[in-house]
Structure 1
Amino acid sequence: MKILSWLYTGWCVFWFLLVFLLLFPIVFIALQKEEWKPIAHYCNRIWGKIFFFVIGQPVKVTYETTLDPKKAYVFCANHFSYLDVAMMGVVIKNYFAFVGKSSAKNIPLFGYMFAKLHIQVDRAAKDSRIKALTRSIRALKSGRSIMIFPEGGIHSTNFPEMVQPFKDGAFSMAIENQVPLVPISLLDNYKAMPEILFKWHKLRVIIHAPIETKGKTKADINDLKKEVYDIIQPTLNKYKD
């Protein structure tokens, strides 16, 4: 019944905002200095873990391999739901910068946190994309990981089919810094939050083994796109029911 979905959505939004507001004073202080920002990142991780637990949707994460928490990676995941962004802080243990839409900066408080901690991009402006790529490369050089949705947004009209072709950004920055790409399959988020309403659903994530980029050049971008797609898409198909 739709009324139950609205009630459950209200419950989820309440806890989403409450936990964020309780942690925000610590986050605000931590954002004032670059060396303190990992604290803000960790607070966001706590925020996500509490949120998913309280709404009754604990996240089951399967790791195909053990990742080095101190190593830089470029994480690439399918993007079918607004829930995906909140999920990233829960499943990725590395300190990372999320590359996302600049429109997020217009959200009170959250926008401030996003602008200070992550990397904004206006996909309609070429210079913004270039600046975001430059900042991402700089972050990787400093040892910080990058998380990006290579589809460039929620564009699919037939979940769980990913939209092709992928954007170049994730693959360019991984090659530029010779860091591994890590595919991530978000199996159930689009079932739990297909649009703006929440629905209860078990949430499962698979962190796949890294794809090495050492020795790769920009000529290998399309091959890397296909390799990531060929890992994530069959996994989504396998668990779609």
Structure 2
Amino acid sequence: MQLLYTGWCAFWFITLYLILFPLQFICLQRESWKPAAHKINAIWGRLFFAVAGIPIHVDYRFRIDPKAVYVFCANHFSYMDIAVMGVIVDNYFAFIGKSETKRIPLLGYMFAKLHVQVDRAQAKSRAYSLTKSIRTLAGGRSIMIYPEGGIKPQEEGTPQLHPFKDGAFIMAIQQQVPIVPITLLSNYKILPDKSPVRLHRHALRAVVHEPIATTGMTQDDIERLKEATYKVISNELKSERAKE
């Protein structure tokens, strides 16, 4: 049954994107139309989770201003994390993601046009992506980043939060933009990062935390800001696991 459910979800994941892609392709041709392309991704996500029978439960600890600029920082335990962000965050943002994504047919084209790519093995690419992210924030668009730097190898059992990298906090302080921690509580249960790939039907649960202001901070405050963000997400994960 798990294999059938995975096949059902994969079919609709691809089919829904193919249906929406022509409209999205048009919206990606002009910079002023790209927010509409971003909205199409959110529609795709909502339709997919509805068809997959996955309920969405988000605890909003503050009201996100869709016109404000933030750096959203979330834990990253599952590839499902990418699909859910447009569903739970009503804000025009750019992902910071792996350059390999652009190789995926159609989806890769959208990613290259709409988001910021980084090859983590190349120092020049990391520097370029940071510069581009700072320009993105300066232009009035938020950034969505997984500060662990990708999905890390996990031991059997519940995934653990890994140390954060500096990039998100450098850009937030430089642009004096608030950090918004996001804790993704159940995505690793829906799509575990292991072989063979199998989807499991669990409720999608997340917490959008109060923003951490960066006003008045300097680059000397990077570690303090990083630790504060890490603590918020880590404490939420610990609290959740204590209930299990």
Tell me the TM-score normalized by structure 2: 0.95
SS of the aligned residue for 2:111 comes to helix
* Number of residue pairs aligned between Structure 1 and Structure 2: 237
Distance 1:40 1:31 in 2: 6
Residue 238 of structure 1: aligned partner: 239
Distance 1:58 1:15 in 2: 16
Percent identity between the two aligned chains: 57
1:45-104 CA-partner distances (Å, limit 9, x unpaired): 000011011101021111001121101000000000010000111111010000000000
RMSD: 0.9
Residue 32 of structure 1: aligned partner: 29
Aligned residue identity for 1:194: P
Contact 1:156 1:163 in 2 (8 A): no
Unaligned runs of 5+ in 2: none
Aligned residue identity for 2:173: I
1:208 and 2:209 correspond: yes
Distance 2:129 2:3 in 1: 37
Residue 218 of structure 2: aligned partner: 217
Identify which range, 80-89 or 188-197, moves more after superposition.
188-197
Structure 1: 4+ residue segments shifted above 6 A: none
Q: 1:15 aligns with which of 12, 33, 42?
A: 12
Residue 163 of structure 1: aligned partner: 162
Residue 114 of structure 1: aligned partner: 111
CA apart distance, 1:203: 1.2
Distance 1:93 1:180 in 2: 16
Residue 38 of structure 2: aligned partner: 41
Tell me the TM-score normalized by structure 1: 0.96
Q: 2:137 aligns with which of 132, 140, 157?
A: 140
Unaligned runs of 5+ in 1: none
Aligned residue identity for 2:78: S
Aligned residue identity for 2:186: D
Distance 2:138 2:167 in 1: 16
Distance 2:237 2:47 in 1: 26
Distance 1:23 1:174 in 2: 33
Aligned residue identity for 1:230: K
Residue 96 of structure 1: aligned partner: 93
Distance 1:84 1:156 in 2: 16
Distance 1:8 1:237 in 2: 30
Distance 1:98 1:57 in 2: 23
Distance 2:192 2:238 in 1: 17
SS of the aligned residue for 1:154 comes to coil
1:103-159 CA-partner distances (Å, limit 9, x unpaired): 000000000000000000000001101111111111101110000000000015153
Distance 1:68 1:38 in 2: 15
Residue 174 of structure 2: aligned partner: 176
CA apart distance, 1:160: 3.5
Residue 54 of structure 2: aligned partner: 57
